[in-house]
Amino acid sequence: MADPIILIRELKKIYHVGDIDVPALRGVSLEVQRGEFVSIVGPSGSGKSTLFHILGGLASPTAGQVLVDGVDLSAVPDTERTRLRRHKVGFVFQRYNLLPTLTAMGNIEMARFFGNVEGPLDNGFVELLKTLGIHHRLHHKPRALSGGEQQRVAIARALVNHPAILLADEPTGNLDTENSDKVLTVLRDLNRRLRQTILMITHNPEAAAYGDRTVHMRDGRIVKET
């Protein structure tokens, strides 16, 4: 089997709240192969979001090893984690996080700016915009878009710099059933057609079923995989 694109060994994260140590991750180990779609489920406080923050270079682990596309996040400085976050990892959030004063295209271009990407959009990404069904909505600001359209713009923004990994944190949490199905179908299509590696946090078992496998977390640990 090829080297995993994500390799986690005995990952621990402890937050310090005054004089109290609050463990968020208690020895998590996980491998994700390139092109896999993995769903991560668990109750609030199980450590899912902390795991994502570390994988995306937004937080440092207290102990353990994390390799993301060959980069050991446990051993590199903040500048290298920032570079990884901008070029190798794309984020999709539950609340979209679109800038309301910019058009859909403006939000996408902002991600290109922070990734130091110049020049016209490549043909592959133009086709992706059509696949997402937003190519005709790019000049509209977020307030003129439906929730599902906003989330699909957020997916496009996350993918514009061609990251190796897409991290989706409750991407359908604010959507109705119809728009949830559209977003999940897009994610599955991206994974199966383009072999985009996807990790998705969700509380919804039906959403989790779109992935290749489901990782169940509780109290900062992985308790089972299905």
- Edge-first strand listing for the sheet containing 6-17: 20-32, 6-17, 63-68, 71-72
- Edge-first strand listing for the sheet containing 221-225: 89-92, 165-169, 197-201, 37-41, 213-218, 221-225
Position 57 scores a pLDDT of 85
Position 1 scores a pLDDT of 53
Helices 177-194 and 147-159, axial angle in degrees (round to 10):
20
Non-local CB neighbours of 81 within 8 Å, separated by 6+ positions? 57, 60, 73
Domains in the chain, CATH or no CATH each:
34-60+83-225 (3.40.50.300)
Do residues 49 and 169 make contact, with C-beta atoms less than 8 angstroms apart?
Answer: yes
Tokens of 205: 């078992």
Give residue 142's region: left, alpha or beta (phi > 0; psi -120 to 50). alpha
H/E segment holding residue 30: strand 20-32
Tokens of 18: 């005054």
Radius of gyration, CA atoms only, the chain = 17
Low-confidence ranges of the chain (pLDDT < 70): 1-2
* Residue 120 φ/ψ, nearest 5 degrees: -70, 160
Length of the chain: 226
> How far is C-alpha 162 from the chain's CA centre?
13
β-pairing, 197-201 vs 37-41, is parallel
Position 34 scores a pLDDT of 95
Give residue 81's region: left, alpha or beta (phi > 0; psi -120 to 50). alpha
